[in-house]
Structure 1
Amino acid sequence: MHTVETVLLVLMLGAVTGIAARYMRAIPLPLIQIALGAVIAWPQKGLHISFNPELFLLLFIPPLLFADGWRIPKREFFALARPILLLAFGLVCFTVLGLGYFIHWMIPSIPLTVAFALAAVVSPTDAVAVSAITRNLGMPHKTMHMLEGESLLNDASGLVAVKFAVAATLTGAFSWGAVAKDFTWMAVGGLGIGALMGWGFSTARDAITRRVGDLAATQMVLLLVLLPFAAYLAGEKIGVSGILAAVAAGIATNFADLDRGNFISERLQTEGTWSMVESAFNGAIFLLLGLQLPSIIGVTLLDAGDDWWQLVAYVVVISFALLLMRWVWITLGVHGALRRAHQEGKMLEKPSHLLNLATTMAGIRGAVTLAAALSIPVHMRSGLPFPSRDLLIFLATGVILFTLILGSIALPLLLRRMPAHEDTETQHEERSARAAACKAAIASLTMTEEEAQKHDEAWIAQYQEVVGRITQEYRNRIHLLDDSGVATSTEAQRDTPEMVHERRLRYLREMELRLHCIHVERDTLYAERQAHRINDETLRAMVSELDMSEVALRKRLVVARRAAGLPPLPHAGGAH
């Protein structure tokens, strides 16, 4: 099949499976996509794609990691820096050494340096798969942020470890001093070049857009999409980690975006563009993984003949050893850091053995592991085949499938047994910020004596009338934002449970009426367009405002209905 046709087919299947997953909520989306890819490729005349690991790493990984670095909450990322670094770097080193020796002991035919390479290949985790599995299951927010931070950084540390293990196999020489020196250079250099490029892009963008405003929004969004590729290529060109460069560029760009509150068009386009890129690329990654399965697993098991069960046993044992090492590291090395973060208020959920086990099961492997395995060279420098390469790729692929299936089963069971962790701190912060914005708006309406002297009495009377209406609306909003209608701890001491429940229901009725009014407004706008009383441009602008209002209102309703013990709202649906 032609390359262009293949790309279009993969993107189309990614979109179709995303829709299908909405109707098969019991099955995580990555499993659906992997299974579909395997079904398409399994027949003898099926779709077979030549997987180029270097091209894969360039096309798919930088934009996804850039988007993760751009979106991840920076306050939580830096507040949980210690446990994240322990997982992203400490656990990778622990895994490479411990699992490497274990694999060499269990399968003596695999040389020690190749065993280290296999351990490094399976060390990176995949937060995308974890997020897809735990969606709507109540994974604690701070724990999910920690897993995302780990995945951001351990892709780079795992790939660097693979590089050194392969180099030791090819050359027969290994030096801890050289490894430490090179690793430091690659990590620090990658972060530095990425941050520099992110800062440079942001500075140039500010200089341009402050002159032309949102007129260049589309071009700026396009350049932003190309930035992770530029950071990755620049990093690889100078011999540092291109992956860390893409991550650092995303984080640096996000910091710069904090000063761009006025560029609404650019912001809306950016959000929409990245949502589409992430959805398309995540789907393509897991579909490509499924497309490789028949040629990797099926062929290897057939070649093994009656000994196929031994290869499957190796996969199971290595997977359990990998998860056991992760559990030991979290329990002994990370638990203390999590407990301190909880005591300092940086982490709401209290560390427990059940949370440690859930974090262990979240160590799912994904597409980066497959790309790292397939990047192993085919031949040594002498021209001889690379030792145990096919077995290494088979075992790595088996670990991906095993951890993904085990996580899909175990994580929902564990999360249902954990106490509910409602992110009340974030909700309170959001309400406080909205209330502060309303109060600031009211304060800005006050007219000074000097300004009043510039106008006549009629103008001042009209101004005061308008200000009165606007102020009353803002005061109503502040009243509604008062703890989202939920009683505070002081009120809870004065009021009976029946009074608290009645207040919650009263608040819900008002919010549902407001939601109903938004629906009526939208239907009326479409009727006006159908009657040709407004044009398409006016319709889109006004409906967009109503859509954003509905999103904010539904978010508040979800919290309020949960507090009142009511079932969640049905999804907003119905395209006109």
Structure 2
Amino acid sequence: MHSLLPFLLAMVAVIVMLNMFAAKLKIAYPILLVVGGLFISFIPGLPVIKIDPDLIFFIFLPPLLFEASWSISFKEMKKWWRIIGSFAFLVVFFTALSVALITNHFIPGCTIALGFLLGGIVSPPDAVSTGAITKFVAIPKSTSTILEGESLLNDASSLIIFRFALVAVGTGQFIWPEAVTDFLWMVIGGVGIGLLLGWLFVQAHKLLPTDAPSDIALTIIEPYLMYWIAEQLHSSGVLAVVCGGLFMSARRLKFLNSTSRIHAYSVWESFIFILNGVVFLIIGLELPEIVDGLKEDHIPIETAVGYGVLVTAILIAARMISSYVALVSTMIFRPSVQPHASSRTRRWMMPLLLGWTGMRGVVSLAAALAIPVTLSNGEAFPHRNLILFITFVVILLTLLVQGLTLPYFIRRTGFFDGIFNEENEQSTRQKIKKELKQHIYQFLKSKYENELKDHAGLEMFLKHWEERAKATDDSWMNAKTKTIFIEMLEVQRDYLTELNKDPKINEEIIRQQLYQIDLEEERLKMI
């Protein structure tokens, strides 16, 4: 333990330095972390990091999924639910089936069950990788929501495939009626358990006398409880965390105060950054051990690399085919929501670009490492090392090839220029600020008309709304005035919540305004 702790601390330091270096180079930090882990793994004398396969999902997935469900716009998800649902479920199954059939044909000894196992592992694109890469280019909010929403839900569908394929490999049989029943329970049970626990956790925050540190501590515990309880009931822990997280996220203003929300944002941002960094660094660190396993199985490295390239090509092709099918289906059945490209050529080229966004990462690594070393009868798990190596090659190739070229393709082609008719964010932000000031003015005039006549502080507040933070004299802020100001902030929150129901308004702008209101409330508390 004394030798491992310095190594873990050094890992965090390396993650921070590589992230700063990636920001300077303007490339996604997962790419540098994987490459950095690969180079670090060749340093002699380093301790070997081994994670229990049964714990790999439980350690990393719940907080990553929970944080992602709090960050995504549920309003945008509802708007694009058809394409998100098709990519999260139908495309994942199509991709896994393609991988299963082709690997069964080309890889000696790879059964259909093993092919589905590999397909379930590598089929879900990674939200962290895609988000880190696309932040360097301007893409519409709707497009990023589709990618984020897809990655939230496809984790569940891919892990369901993984679980059934694992059972099929271990038992040598696949019983369809039982599989369908189990699948329905995993989906329905996962959603129901997540919503029920999310409601219970919201009530607990409301009823218990919590402060900011205890609220944040509870939010860290809650995704683990959702995942663990759902898995104990043999349903989908991933769906439980996602649905519970979405439920709680939509009600964050009701059970968390401004102090808890502000502090939680910083804590979770750092926590998730470290978790993601550790996982991507482990991807690189695991390679030498995986290569040693291939040598024990007498599989040439060149052959294994070829299999990895083949599977990567299948994934890219399957995603592009699915993108074209989705575009054609939308044009036929939902022409009103199809992308409004500036030309026919650009519209038909767009699925190629969307197909190029399928970078793999955390979930694929976690699933691959979760494969047991032996079967229930004590025999070695067939092709485990080869599956691990193929997964590593897929992650590395998609991150390096697609990840490094995607920003260039977006900027060079201008595919997203004018595709979505969204209101300019800057003008929307200014419009909301103006409406907020007018709304508060009417609120004060209607409720505190007498106080407005006699209180110079409130008059100054109305006349100098933009200048109030610069004021150095807070003597006019007495208890009565502070109470009114706090009430005004609540009125603003209610107004923004109602405004967010407008489908034309970007929810990210609403959240930014709510965050500013939280900061203002914290400033008032300090006076």
The answer to whether the Cα contact below 8 Å between 1:127 and 1:147 also exists between their aligned partners in 2 is yes
Change (3 A) 1:103 1:207: same
SS at match of 1:143: helix
Match of 1:440 in 2: 439
Change (3 A) 1:74 1:448: closer
Change (3 A) 1:48 1:108: same
Give matches, 1:334-373, under 5 Å: 335-337=328-330, 343-344=336-337, 352-373=347-368
SS at match of 1:239: coil
Which residue identity does 2:168 align to in structure 1?
A: A
Match of 1:77 in 2: 77
Which residue identity does 1:245 align to in structure 2?
A: A
Give matches, 1:382-397, under 5 Å: 382-397=377-392
CA deviation vs aligned residue, 1:144-183 (integer Å, no higher than 9, x gap): 1111111111111111111111111111111233222211
Give matches, 1:200-219, under 5 Å: 200-208=200-208, 216-219=211-214
Match of 1:550 in 2: none
The answer to which of 370-379 and 440-449 deviates more is 440-449
Match of 2:462 in 1: 471
Residue of 324, 330, 334 corresponding to 2:317: 324
Alignment gaps of 5+ in structure 2: 474-508, 510-527
Which residue identity does 2:215 align to in structure 1?
A: M
Deviation at 1:265, TM superposition (A): 0.9
Deviation at 1:229, TM superposition (A): 0.9
The answer to whether the Cα contact below 8 Å between 1:33 and 1:286 also exists between their aligned partners in 2 is yes
Alpha-carbon distance in 2 for matches of 1:342, 1:267 = 40
SS at match of 1:359: helix
Change (3 A) 1:122 1:447: closer
SS at match of 2:254: coil
Match of 1:269 in 2: 263
Change (3 A) 1:341 1:198: farther
Match of 2:130 in 1: 130
CA deviation vs aligned residue, 1:482-521 (integer Å, no higher than 9, x gap): xxxxxxxxxxxxxxxxxxxxxxxxxxxxxxxx9xx99xx7
The answer to whether the Cα contact below 8 Å between 1:66 and 1:250 also exists between their aligned partners in 2 is yes
Alpha-carbon distance in 1 for matches of 2:331, 2:429 = 25
Match of 1:155 in 2: 155
Match of 1:11 in 2: 12
- 1:24 partnered with 2:25: yes
Match of 1:112 in 2: 112
Alpha-carbon distance in 2 for matches of 1:236, 1:399 = 28
What is the count of residue pairs matched by the alignment?
Answer: 466
The answer to which of 145-154 and 176-185 deviates more is 176-185
Alpha-carbon distance in 1 for matches of 2:200, 2:43 = 50
The answer to whether the Cα contact below 8 Å between 1:142 and 1:348 also exists between their aligned partners in 2 is no
The answer to whether the Cα contact below 8 Å between 2:33 and 2:277 also exists between their aligned partners in 1 is yes
The answer to whether the Cα contact below 8 Å between 2:372 and 2:381 also exists between their aligned partners in 1 is yes
Deviation at 1:297, TM superposition (A): 3.8
Deviation at 1:303, TM superposition (A): 7.2
Alpha-carbon distance in 2 for matches of 1:341, 1:54 = 43
Identity of aligned residues (%): 29
Which residue identity does 1:285 align to in structure 2?
A: V
Give matches, 1:91-490, under 5 Å: 91-208=91-208, 216-259=211-254, 263-297=257-291, 300=294, 307-333=300-326, 335-337=328-330, 343-344=336-337, 352-416=347-411, 417-418=413-414, 419-421=416-418, 423-424=422-423, 426-446=425-445, 452=450, 462-463=454-455, 466-474=457-465
Deviation at 1:340, TM superposition (A): 6.9
The answer to which of 251-260 and 6-15 deviates more is 6-15
Change (3 A) 1:408 1:461: closer
The answer to whether the Cα contact below 8 Å between 2:123 and 2:158 also exists between their aligned partners in 1 is yes
CA deviation vs aligned residue, 1:256-301 (integer Å, no higher than 9, x gap): 114358x221111111111111111111111111111222146637
CA deviation vs aligned residue, 1:5-46 (integer Å, no higher than 9, x gap): 443333232222222222222x32111111221222223423
Alpha-carbon distance in 2 for matches of 1:298, 1:401 = 18
Alpha-carbon distance in 1 for matches of 2:255, 2:380 = 55
Alpha-carbon distance in 2 for matches of 1:467, 1:308 = 74
Measured on the aligned residues, the alpha-carbon RMSD in Å equals: 3.0
The answer to whether the Cα contact below 8 Å between 2:276 and 2:362 also exists between their aligned partners in 1 is no
Deviation at 1:241, TM superposition (A): 1.1
Alpha-carbon distance in 2 for matches of 1:427, 1:83 = 28
Change (3 A) 1:140 1:304: farther
SS at match of 1:446: helix
Alignment gaps of 5+ in structure 1: 210-214, 453-458, 478-513, 526-558, 560-576
SS at match of 2:43: coil
Deviation at 1:349, TM superposition (A): 6.9
Deviation at 1:219, TM superposition (A): 0.9
Which structure has the larger Rg?
A: 1
Which residue identity does 1:275 align to in structure 2?
A: E
Alpha-carbon distance in 2 for matches of 1:310, 1:13 = 32
Alpha-carbon distance in 1 for matches of 2:290, 2:447 = 76
The answer to whether the Cα contact below 8 Å between 1:297 and 1:397 also exists between their aligned partners in 2 is no
TM-score normalised by the chain length of structure 2: 0.81
Alpha-carbon distance in 2 for matches of 1:426, 1:222 = 34
Deviation at 1:314, TM superposition (A): 1.6
CA deviation vs aligned residue, 1:330-379 (integer Å, no higher than 9, x gap): 1113553488778349x777882333122211111112112211222222
CA deviation vs aligned residue, 1:383-425 (integer Å, no higher than 9, x gap): 3222222211111111111111121233123211124358535
The answer to whether the Cα contact below 8 Å between 1:47 and 1:291 also exists between their aligned partners in 2 is no
CA deviation vs aligned residue, 1:461-489 (integer Å, no higher than 9, x gap): 543x5555433335xx6xxxxxxxxxxxx
Which residue identity does 1:24 align to in structure 2?
A: L
Change (3 A) 1:460 1:412: closer
Alpha-carbon distance in 1 for matches of 2:268, 2:389 = 33
SS at match of 1:364: coil
The answer to whether the Cα contact below 8 Å between 1:354 and 1:414 also exists between their aligned partners in 2 is no
Deviation at 1:72, TM superposition (A): 0.4
Give matches, 1:474-553, under 5 Å: 474=465
The answer to which of 406-415 and 110-119 deviates more is 406-415
- Runs of 4+ off more than 6 Å: 338-342, 347-351
The answer to whether the Cα contact below 8 Å between 1:445 and 1:467 also exists between their aligned partners in 2 is no
The answer to whether the Cα contact below 8 Å between 1:100 and 1:112 also exists between their aligned partners in 2 is yes
Change (3 A) 1:381 1:338: farther
Change (3 A) 1:126 1:338: farther
TM-score normalised by the chain length of structure 1: 0.74
Deviation at 1:207, TM superposition (A): 2.5
SS at match of 1:386: coil
The answer to whether the Cα contact below 8 Å between 2:330 and 2:337 also exists between their aligned partners in 1 is no
Which residue identity does 1:472 align to in structure 2?
A: K
Give matches, 1:54-69, under 5 Å: 54-69=54-69
SS at match of 2:123: coil
Deviation at 1:85, TM superposition (A): 0.9
Alpha-carbon distance in 2 for matches of 1:339, 1:21 = 43
Alpha-carbon distance in 1 for matches of 2:202, 2:341 = 36
The answer to whether the Cα contact below 8 Å between 1:30 and 1:283 also exists between their aligned partners in 2 is yes
Change (3 A) 1:396 1:469: same
